[in-house]
Each structure stands twice: as structure tokens, then as C-alpha cells.
Structure 1
Amino acid sequence: MSKENDILKWFNGEISSEEIKELYPNEDFSVLEKAGFYAKQITVPEVDAQKALADFKTRTFNKQESKVIPLNFKSFLKIAAIFVVLLASSYFLFFNNIKSFETQIAETRVFNLPDNSEVILNAQSHLTYNKKEWKNNRTLNLDGEAFFKVTKGEKFTVNTAAGSIQVLGTQFNVKERDNYFEVQCYEGSVSVTSDKGKVVLTPGKTFRIIKDEVILVKDFIAENPSWIAQESSFDNVPLWQVIDELEVQFDMSISVENINTAKLFSGSFTHKDKNVALQSVTIPLNLSYKINGNKVEFYNYAKN
């Protein structure tokens, strides 16, 4: 049992990797090193490894058989590795409480949170929350865009890379893409906190940050975001952001040639027809486009 005891000490950090290899230079510790690494990444209930190993060696699967089968070193390595894998599996099955929702290109998803609040997730978005802590801490993490219908209750928080939104019970839309952050309030009031400060939105108000610049947006009148009805709408939004949204709603990559993508666009495009959507964006800006597979190029009319 000397080797087994030394390995158990190594698992517990009582012996370093260098020391265990010096004690047994001819043994292959690569499997246990990997198992040990992954074991340290998770938190699991404490286990008396010595007792567990002793119980395993003395246990018999046949009540009529009393003979104890000797446990050689290689068998111990296999058992130790399996033991760690089982602990890891138990962790992910019983101790991991993070709930995750994700959408792909051109996909939207509707679901309810534990408090019956409704979330509609727009295309290419990702949302997570801790279901175990939800009752006392209604906090979510969002990457992308989502519309929330929040039931009244404790503080409800949506965290994004660009800022956080807090409400008690209301309806609001959050859009967080690269260099673009927008919050629109549809009902109740919404508190938005970012590195630009804090602002409280009332129904019909919008807060928008484009490349670190806060943009004042005129009031809007709508019951829901247009994208829920499969249409993206824009009010003085840079063309590069409109292009990004086209790529989110359609499986295509858009390039531009000699075009100022900072020019502002007001309008909308449908999610149902790619050509109609492209025309809805290019025609008002006096642009044209050509399609090559899933690649699209925007260019000025003057191009031959």
C-alpha cells in the first residue's frame, strides 16, 4: 500500500509532483496528472479517500465469496482516474446550477424564467442565470439582444459587457453587440448603469451608446421591438451596425467597397427575404449590392 498511500498524499497536495516522480521514476503518472488537474477545477463534497479505497478493496459483489482480490498498482491508477471522473460527473449533474439559453443566426427563442418572467431572445444571442439563487437574486447575463417582460417582485438585473439594467417589474429591450449598446423601455421604468453614468428610462425612452459615445434618441411609440415580428428597425443608426444585424438575421457575410459605413440609416428590413432586406437597406442609401453564395458586397451605383 506504500505507493497507493503516496499517491493519495499527492492528490491531497501533501507530496509534490516532483517528489512522487522521484519516488517512482519508472511509473507513468500522465493519466493521474490529467485527472488531478480536472479534479482541482471543481468543488465537490469532501471524501475520505483512504476509507473509500479501503471499502472498495474489502467490498465483494458476491455475498458467498469472501476472498479479497489484491489490488495492484495499475488497477489502482485506473480506479483513481475513474473515481475522479465520477466526481466530476456528479458535480455537473448535481452541483452546476447555471441555466443557459442560446440562439443561432436567424433564430429567436421564447422561454419563461422561474418567476414566470418572459424572455424573447433574438438571433445569435446568449443568456445565463443561476437557477438555484434565482428566488433571492434575479440576475442574468446577456450577450446579444433580448426583450423582457418582467413579473413584479425583487430587483431584476440584466448584466451585459456594456452596462447593467435594473427593474422591479416592466417590459424592456436590451441590445448589446460589438461597439453598440441600446436599452428601450416599453413599460414601467428602467435603470441603466454604464461607465457613462446612470439614467432612468420611462416608457418610450431609449438609451444608446455607440463606440463609447452616448447618442440621444427621440421618443418611440411601440408595444414591442420590431424584431419580434421578424423585422429589424433603425433610427439614425450607423450603417456598420445595420450590416452587422443583416449578418445576424441571414447566413451571409457582407463586405463594402469605398463606402462610409458611419453614415446613418433610418428604416427597416424584413427577416423573411434576403433580397428584399438588402434592397431595403441599400436603395435608401443610393447603394447597390452583388451576391456570391453567402458573400455579399455593397458598392456605389457608379461601379461598373
Structure 2
Amino acid sequence: MNREELISKWLDNNLNPQELEAFKRLEDYDDLVKLNTNLQAFKADDYDTSKELETVLSAIKTKKVQPNTHWFKPLMRVAAILAVCFSLYYYTTTLDTTITTEFAQKTTVELPDESRVSLNAKSILEFNKNSWKKNRSVRLDGEAFFIVAKGSSFNVETTSGTVTVYGTQFNVKQRDNYFEVICYEGLVGVTYNSIETKLKPGDSFLIIDGKTIAKEKENRSTPSWLNNESTFKSMPYKTVIAEFERQYNVDITLLGIDSTQLFTGNFTHNNLDVALKSITLPLHVTYSKTKNTITLRGE
């Protein structure tokens, strides 16, 4: 039995045990059940047959008999079922897949073409599996490292700009007032303010607070965060603090510290005390901890 027949019998509550198991194995089973649950909110109110019959009989006494329309209600029922089926099909085929990471969490996602995406902490990736063959495109809010399978053009859309892949391996980081793309292999195009910049292996594209920042050649073969370490070279201290908060799920308060001063160094993602020393000792900063709140004080 094909997919449409299973859905139709399911809507009529007419599935035998074998058909029910086949229906549960459908790829979009969870979406179908969710949509059906939502549609229950649109069911009509309970119908009082006796009361309505009295109303109709009273109306017959004072009005002429109307033409027979017994065919109309079944037709409307068929139309309603068709409308529900169409809405169900449209909903399930246009639904996006969304992958989200929380504070201190990373994950790896395999796309429909076997491309792989590694998501850094506090990031969101969205794509549509049903339209993937026609449009290899993802939306990113956060940071991700991509290894793209060969094929048609591949786009990463962010609120800051669009990254078009001509190669296979690159990193995209889009945060508040921060947009960075690093090419590790192949060729990558970055469109920002309607202007495209081509990146070769080792090249970077960096915008901080709306300004283009020049960077030295990237020597690593993959971003450091994949190995649970964040590395910075002449980056504003506020950028370092924001990444620290994402990796450790803490709130950091700066007292007497210039958040725009540049920082060069790194911190690990798996030892809070060691990481704190890594971002405070180079700047002669002291710190204190209270639960999930950390206060940094300048000298």
C-alpha cells in the first residue's frame, strides 16, 4: 500500500494492525501525528439533534419548502477531506528540519547528500530534506564547520551574509556583530553587502561591528573548537568572553576591564578553572565565582 493510501485510511481510522505498523514507519509519521493533533482544535462543537429538528420543523410551517439539497452535505464532506489531505501534504513537504545545540553542547549532522556539519555551542541549523535535490541550502545562526559532498551549488545563509561553496571544507561563524568565514579546502564565496569575496584555503573573511578585519593566513586544517579549544588572535576581549559563556553556560561580568582590548590566546572547553586562568592571567585580571556567575576585575 502506498503512502497516500495509508494516510487516507489513517484519517478514516480504518487501518488494520499491519497497515498501522507500516504507517508508523513513514518518514514523516511524527509530523503527521502532530498535525492531526493540531487539527482537532478545529472540530465543530457538539450538535444537539433534537433541538435542531424542532427548529427546522418550525421553519417549515412559516416558509416554503426549499429545493432538495441532500447531495450538498456529502459533497462538502468530500471537499473538507480533500482540503485536509492537501494541507497535510503541503505541511509535511515544506516542513524544515531544525537542529539546535545548547550551551556547552556540540553535535554533528549528516545532510541528505551525506555532507557533514559540526555545530558549535548555542547554534541553530535549518534545512529542507524534501527540496534538497533541487536546492542544497541551509540556514545558520551560530557557528558550524562544513564538509560538503560534491554536487550542485551549496549555500549557507546567515543574517550577515551568504556563503557559496565551490570547495568542500570551511567554517562559518555568525554571532551578534560578528561574521567570519574560513576556507580550509577548495574555494568558498562569501557574499556580504551584495559583494562576493572568493576565499582560497587558509583565507579568512571577518566582519566585527560592521568593519572588515584583516587576518593572517590560517595554518590549521580544521577549526580549534572541534578539538574542544577556542583560539583567538588579536580579537576583542568581549568576543572571547561571549564564546566562554557559550562553552561553559555561565554569565560573566566585567568590572574595570576594557572589553574592546585585543586578546591573543586560547581556552579549553573541558576544565572551567584552567580555562578561566587562560583568559585572565595574560591580562592580569582576577576573578571570583558564585554558582553560574563569574566576575572579572581589572587591576
Taking structure 2 as the reference length, the TM-score comes to 0.72
Q: Is the 8 A contact 1:154 1:168 kept in 2?
A: no
Aligned with residue 51 of structure 1, among 62, 66, 74: 74
Output the amino acid matched with 2:74: K
In 2: Cα distance, 1:179 partner to 1:91 partner: 39
Map 1:113-192 → 2, pairs under 5 A: 113-192=111-190
Let me know the Cα RMSD of the aligned residues: 2.7
Aligned with residue 222 of structure 1, among 220, 223, 243: 220
Other-structure match for 1:282: 280
Q: Is the 8 A contact 2:186 2:201 kept in 1?
A: yes
In 2: Cα distance, 1:172 partner to 1:209 partner: 16
Other-structure match for 2:258: 260
Offset of 1:198 from its aligned partner?
Answer: 2.0
In 2: Cα distance, 1:272 partner to 1:116 partner: 30
Taking structure 1 as the reference length, the TM-score comes to 0.70
In 2: Cα distance, 1:198 partner to 1:168 partner: 13
In 1: Cα distance, 2:138 partner to 2:93 partner: 19
Distance change in 2, residues 1:263/1:50 (3 Å): farther
In 1: Cα distance, 2:262 partner to 2:248 partner: 21
Q: Is the 8 A contact 2:167 2:188 kept in 1?
A: no
Distance change in 2, residues 1:51/1:105 (3 Å): same
Distance change in 2, residues 1:246/1:196 (3 Å): farther
Q: Is the 8 A contact 2:184 2:201 kept in 1?
A: yes
In 2: Cα distance, 1:50 partner to 1:96 partner: 31
Output the amino acid matched with 2:101: T
Residues matched between the structures, number: 232
**CA deviation vs aligned residue, 1:153-202 (integer Å, no higher than 9, x gap):** 10000000111100133100000000111000000011001127321111
Distance change in 2, residues 1:54/1:267 (3 Å): closer
**CA deviation vs aligned residue, 1:61-86 (integer Å, no higher than 9, x gap):** xxxxxxxxxxxxxxxxxxx9xx8xx7
SS in 2 for 1:241: helix
Output the amino acid matched with 1:120: S
Q: Do structure 1's residue 233 and structure 2's residue 231 form an aligned pair?
A: yes
Structure 1 residues without counterparts, runs of 5 or longer: 1-31, 37-48, 57-79
Offset of 1:53 from its aligned partner?
Answer: 5.0
SS in 2 for 1:141: strand
In 1: Cα distance, 2:185 partner to 2:156 partner: 16
In 2: Cα distance, 1:250 partner to 1:91 partner: 42
Q: Is the 8 A contact 1:152 1:168 kept in 2?
A: no
Output the amino acid matched with 1:285: L
SS in 1 for 2:201: coil
In 2: Cα distance, 1:258 partner to 1:52 partner: 75
Structure 2 residues without counterparts, runs of 5 or longer: 1-38, 44-71
Question: Which stretches of structure 1, 4 residues or longer, exceed 2 Å deviation after superposition?
Answer: 49-56, 86-97
SS in 2 for 1:216: coil
In 1: Cα distance, 2:90 partner to 2:287 partner: 48
Offset of 1:103 from its aligned partner?
Answer: 0.5
